[in-house]
């Protein structure tokens, strides 16, 4: 299916992954119509030019955790919740 800049609700539902990939790759929005009325617009998320300070701090913390030999990792969510007593 060739995705255009407008699709029907049923086309959007059936091809959401393809539409999302196209929007992400082309950086062009797709308008979804319900009947003859615009219903919603699928738009690409804004691209960040520079990581903000909060993101940089999170990466620094992650590096410190990775360097800590006593840091314990968990195989899955159940194991993590059990370790937390949840």
Q: Which of 60, 22, 61 is nearest to 42 (CA)?
A: 22
Burial class of residue 19 in the structure, from the number of CB atoms within 10 Å of its CB (0-12 exposed, 13-18 middle, 19+ buried): buried
pLDDT at residue 46 in the model: 87
Say if residues 27 and 42 touch (Cβ distance below 8 Å): no
pLDDT in tens, 2-54: 567 999 999 999 999 999 999 999 999 999 999 999 999 999 988 878 888 99
The pTM score is 0.54
- Residue 86: predicted pLDDT: 86
C-alpha of 29 from chain center: 16
């Amino acid at each position: 299916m060739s995705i255009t800049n407008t699709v029907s609700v049923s086309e959007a539902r059936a091809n959401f992954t393809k539409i999302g990939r196209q929007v992400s790759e082309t950086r062009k929005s797709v308008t979804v119509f319900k009947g003859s009325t615009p219903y919603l617009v699928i738009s690409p998320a804004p691209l960040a030019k520079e990581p903000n300070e909060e993101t940089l701090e999170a990466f620094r913390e992650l590096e410190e955790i990775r360097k800590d030999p006593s840091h314990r990792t968990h195989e899955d969510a159940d194991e993590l919740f059990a370790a937390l007593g949840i």
